Chain A
């Protein structure tokens, strides 16, 4: 209380700049007069009496100083004074200030921009209430290495009723549907979930209501909840939308609610957000109903009971999975070793992108380091020039702490100015980067510059300021008084102690640059290899367009119920596509290469003794006979499908080379028979051809085995998956944009309810599948370039400064007979030694940290020899180049002038 009162009184004095000198002077005068009078009374002579009084009073200046200190706030006063002085100092050398602030702004801007992505994706908690209790539930068969397998309704019931750790468990499935009824049919992403989905996530509607227990039916409920975006786009944000009917894959649904704009389905990120939510009891669609082994449900999310920790829940689930395996031994083959695992929802959503973002964040922090080292070096050079000033200050009584404080004020002023510019830069850079941020980065839409980002930027500014300010500050406060004054007077100060510090700074800068360049090299090499990789087909001059046949739940509404009706449609579509001018050939495929998720289905092979522990799996791809010809995928043996490989004829299949090798390692697969799915009544298909491998699941994915099936032959829904989406592929020299209206027109003149979407060239699709890799590789590459630039500026600056300081010595050497070549060698040598040490340190550092990047590489080892050879050579070359300029300038030193000036 007393302290506060005193502080406020001082603050008031400080704020009003009241320096009440008058009062103290009068009091002192009075004091001395009284003391003098007293002394006179004691019998002293007047002069002596006055003298004794003054002596007794003590040092007037010290008293006055203490008095002033008590009057105001000396610490803050000192700081303001330092700040004023620092501003003057910077204003005196605007060039230096501009360069320093700009580099700091670059470093802090880059770091802040990346941090705002990291913050939104990794750090900020999910936008649901109590997000820590939300988990994603996985069912795994670790014994056969199949993970995230589907589950059955009884298993879902076990999670709800038997596990006892969940408050709510919701099963979900995701897909896309045709929305019809508007001006043009649309393809929308939808999620079908248990009725408790929204209460589990804690969502509230914007208008209307969300799903609840009243929506429970064994099959699909006729209610639908739509996203805010769809509401605005299709219904002009009309509040009367509630109760309106929409058609999804021909089935009628009634809109019951609209979600708020910020709500997002917590699933994987994709180019298109989920915009339609349906609900189902998941009990009517499985056939036979709800047996334990009818595993058709793809995803489950849960909310843990309050107070249940993740570890407790996991223990309980592991125990329960054990019990179930024993109780229902027939449904859980022992070799699968079926388990249930949970993962925090946040981790499940962002897991894959985490290493990429961490590498990016690491890269920018290294940039900030380099920037700091560079500025430290600049400041050291300035400090050497100001040694005399500091020496005078100390001679006049400034304490060492005071000088450090003053120097730090200068560097903090620099770093905060740079930081402010950096934040502005980050906001701009972020807007720019968001245009390139791949849609596969989860939560990308949540990236903003918020308080956390701003505090981060301030913290980084403070740290950089301290980092680059401390060395020069301590250095200048340490300088020995007498030598500094003498040396300064002589004007030749390349003293060894400060130089060793400067050398060390430049070497660390180079080492960090090497680390960044090696990282960028590895990522870029991965990208380049992937771009060069042969996808197994010729993507140039191919245009793809997606179409989806509706699959209504009510068979009476399904115009494509039988294979005969589908075949009629496909043949008509084929005729019309081939008739488009400029189209050489048209084909159809159920799933375009590099798009979508790989599906795994059980595979049956005739006459193959099933080895225990082995699971036969493959992904079926349904194609039209011309598909391989359009894609120019080479046939190895046998034949392609023909137009008359249709229903009623011999069921046929084509496999790719790796499938052939894997399942028929020592036999010819031609003529052998296989079967997809677990249903023992489905028909065998005879293999009629083998094609080269097509990287179907993405260029950077070691794909699953593929089996191709003709589009004209009956292929039943397997494990709840209906094959109704397909893509048209056209071999043509025309661009996609020109073909799009014709494709749409032709498709919709057969069936006006079919949406045509994602019309692009095949090369574009391949390109897009590498977007996340390209994003990170190019960013890190850019940072590495920046690091290289900064490091070469660093080495250039150091040598240029050294040449300046040593011009006297150089002049002397030349006067004594040294040739220009000797001088050139002298300086270059210094540069090469510095660069060499930096490169060696950097290579050691990279070799020991590169393995952290392993998960981001594909086909390139973390210690790739080419990268580890090229990067050091490149850096050395640049360093030599940077040292050459000052070295060349050194040879231009005029010995006469140098000696005279000294």
Chain B
């Protein structure tokens, strides 16, 4: 069922949270656009995979959703960060930064540094 690696799934969830944090309530297409703009082609062919992730985040209580009107006045589902989601975002951001810093240091290391 899950052909995509978990890292990607996790990253996608984090991107959603960050997007909602920065831009406020947004519908699915809006989130997809935003992620596409920033991450390039991560979602280029698979925008649809966003929706199961949104549902999962909603089940976890990190976001809520409600119907609203989109820019062209059609019914659209708007997603919004909850307080729990905000906390989760902060925690995961911290984790990511730590991990990234460690990995980065590893990549900087040259053979002579270790001798």
B-binding residues in A (CB < 8 A) = 2-3, 5-6, 9-10, 23-24, 26-28, 30-31, 33-35, 37-38, 55-60, 62-63, 65-67, 69-71, 74
The answer to whether A71 touches B55 (Cβ under 8 A) is yes
- The answer to whether B60 touches A30 (Cβ under 8 A) is no
Give the residues in chain A near B1, CB-CB below 8 Å: 65-66, 69, 74
- Say whether A35 contacts B29, CB under 8 Å: yes
Q: Which residue of A lies closest to B36 (CB)?
A: A56
C-alpha gap A27/B53 in the complex (Å): 14
Contact B60 A26 (CB under 8 A): no
Number of A-B contacts (CB under 8 A): 81
| Partner of B29 from A2, A9, A31, A71 at Cβ < 8 Å | A31
Measured between alpha carbons, how far is A62 from B56 in the docked complex, in Å? 16
* Total B residues in contact with A, Cβ cutoff 8 Å: 29
Residue B86, interface by CB 8 Å: no
The segment from B16-24, B40-48, B94-102, B104-112 found at the interface with A is B40-48
With contacts A30-B76, A31-B28, A74-B1 taken as known, whether A66 is within 8 angstroms of B52 at the C-beta atoms is: yes
Chain A residues closer than 8 Å to B84, beta-carbon distance = 2
Query: Which of B47, B61, B77 sits near A56, CB closer than 8 Å?
Result: B47
Do the beta carbons of B49 and A30 come within 8 Å of each other? no
CA distance A70 to B28 in the complex (A): 17
> Which residue of the partner chain A has the closest CB to B74?
A30
B27 touches A (CB below 8 Å): yes
Chain B residue numbers with a CB within 8 Å of A10 are: 59
Which residue of chain A lies nearest to B47 when distances are taken between CB atoms in the complex?
A: A57
- Identify the closest chain B residue to A7 (Cβ): B59
Q: How far is the CA of A343 from the CA of B8 in the complex (A)?
A: 64
Partner of B47, one of A5, A31, A37: A31
Chain A's closest residue to B54 (CB) is: A27
Residues on the A chain within 8 Å of B72, using CB: 33-34, 37
Cα A60 to Cα B27 in complex, Å, equals 18
Q: How distant is the Cα of A260 from the Cα of B51 in the complex, in angstroms?
A: 68
The complex places the Cα of A548 from the Cα of B58 at a distance, in Å, of 86
**DSSP class of B's interface residues: helix, strand, loop or mixed?**
helix
Distance in Å: Cβ of A803 to nearest Cβ of chain B: 44
Which of A6, A26, A65 is the one whose CB lies under 8 Å from B77? Answer: A26
Interface centre among A37, A58, A74, by most chain B C-beta atoms within 10 angstroms, is: A58
Residues on the B chain within 8 Å of A67, using CB: 51-52, 55
**In the docked arrangement, what's the CA distance between A10 and B52, Å?**
13
B55 touches A57 (CB 8 A): no
Contact of B59 among A6, A23, A31, A74 (CB under 8 A): A6
Point out the residue from B29, B32, B48, B60 that lies within 8 Å of A5, measured CB to CB.
B60
Nearest B residue to A68 via CB reads B52
B88 within 8 A of A: yes
Q: How far is the CB of B80 from chain A (nearest CB, A)?
A: 15
Measured between beta carbons, the chain A residues less than 8 angstroms from B32 are 31
A555 to chain B, nearest CB (A): 90
24 A-B residue contacts at CB 8 Å?
A: A5-B60, A6-B56, A9-B58, A26-B77, A30-B70, A30-B74, A33-B74, A34-B29, A34-B70, A35-B29, A38-B33, A55-B45, A56-B44, A56-B47, A57-B47, A57-B48, A63-B48, A65-B1, A66-B49, A66-B52, A67-B51, A67-B52, A67-B55, A69-B1
Contacts of A31 in B (CB 8 A): 28-29, 32, 47
Chain A residues with CB under 8 A of B62 = 2
CB contacts (< 8 Å) of A69 on chain B: these are 1, 52
Q: Which residues of A contact B45 (CB under 8 A)?
A: 55-56, 58
Q: How far is the CA of A198 from the CA of B44 in the complex (A)?
A: 83
Closest to A9 in B: B59
Q: Which of B1, B58, B59 lies at the interface centre, i.e. has the most chain A CB atoms within 10 A of its CB?
A: B59
Q: How far is the CB of A854 from chain B (nearest CB, A)?
A: 58
Using A5-B60, A33-B72, A55-B45 as known contacts, list a sample of 13 further A-B pairs with CB atoms less than 8 Å apart, ordered by residue number in A. A10-B59, A27-B76, A27-B77, A30-B74, A31-B28, A34-B70, A37-B72, A58-B45, A62-B48, A63-B51, A66-B52, A70-B55, A70-B59
Residue of A nearest to B2 (CB): A66
Residues of A within 8 A of B47 (CB): 31, 35, 56-58
Among B56, B61, B77, B88, the residue within 8 A (CB) of A70 is: B56
Cα-based distance from A3 to B60 in the complex (angstroms): 7
Cβ of A11 to closest chain B Cβ, rounded Å: 10
Interfacial chain B residues near A57, Cβ < 8 Å: 46-48
Contact across chains for A23 and B77 when beta carbons are under 8 A apart: yes
Chain B minimum-CB-distance residue to A38: B33
Nearest CB on B from A481, distance (A):
22
Question: Complex formed: what's the CA distance from A69 to B51 in Å?
Answer: 12
Name the 9 nearest CB pairs between A and B, nearest first.
A63-B48, A66-B52, A58-B46, A9-B59, A6-B59, A58-B48, A34-B29, A2-B60, A31-B29
